[in-house]
Homo-oligomer: A and B are copies of this chain.
Amino acid sequence: MRHHKLALCKDHYLEWVPEQAERFIKKYRMFTRDEKILVAVSGGKDSLALWDILQRLGYTADGLYISLGIDEGIGYSAESQRLAEKFATERGLKLHVVDIKSEYGETIPEIAGRTWRGKEKFCSVCGLVKRHVMNRIARDFGYDVLATGHNLDDEVAVLFSNTLTWQGEYLLRQSPVLAETPGLARKVKPLCRFYEREMAAYTLLRGIEYIYEECPFSEGSTSIYYKELFNQIEHDRPGAKLTYYLKFLEARRKGLFSEQVEIQQELHPCTRCGQPTSAPGECAFCRMIGK
């Protein structure tokens, strides 16, 4: 790991990763061993690695798999569900499964195909649905905290994207921890300081089977574009990704951004689902599903 000036054998690497994760969990005050954690599991390497790490560290963490109904000739959702369930069964862990089609009558491609939002951005429909379901399961089952597998490469791509347009609200919301608000569980990203390659190495060495394919709809996404760009920068300047992300967090903590931007907008409960939303009335999810 050139960026850490560190080389480890298999055994030490498999110790080092959870030790680092524990350090980040404590440093950013993500959760304690008394709290109930819900891990959003996609069947990919990051979320399965996260679940594995939390289990090894002795945290109480259940999983949530959301079946999006994406097939595209490669059985993407079916295969990722099989791998998530296999992981849970082998370890005797509890996995919630929510099937979007059976709960809401349509798959993500079907919803995206008929909504204005979807014609513009498939991924924004998918993100809206996933956020709604994650919030709902966390609330209905009384989880204190919702953990996602976002890694450093994910965070860097989002950060860069937000600086390209200098969107203050988004810049200020990007954090390893989003505090709980009435009706919403705390959201945490315990892997936010791990490089994607580090997580790939971890799952490989731990023998965790995961889905290799990216979502077929992510092809050509700006997120993948920015990741490739930063892979190039990281290649030429080892450590650049980590510096970029950590210096951003540090600068914000030290007050680089003005308080006025940080003022949270007022939230109202959605009149249909009860989840917090910025405008009075139905939330964006209910309006989209209701059409």
Contacts and interface: CB of A to CB of B under 8 A. Distances in A.
Interface in A243-257: 243-244, 247-248, 250-251, 254-257
Given A229-B233, A240-B164, A256 B247 contact: no
A134 to B, nearest CB: 29
Interface residues of A, number: 27
A236 B244 contact: no
A166 interface: yes
A166 B247 contact: yes
Interface in A224-283: 225, 229, 232-233, 236, 240, 243-244, 247-248, 250-251, 254-261
A250 B247 CA distance: 23
B247 A165 contact: yes
Copies of this chain per assembly: 2
A32 interface: no
A142 interface: no
A168 interface: yes
A156 to B, nearest CB: 10
B255 A256 contact: no
A58 to B, nearest CB: 35
A174 interface: no
A288 B125 CA distance: 59
A163 interface: yes
Interface of A: 163-168, 171, 225, 229, 232-233, 236, 240, 243-244, 247-248, 250-251, 254-261
Given A229-B229, A229-B232, 9 more contacts: A165-B243, A166-B247, A166-B256, A168-B254, A168-B256, A171-B256, A255-B261, A256-B257, A258-B258
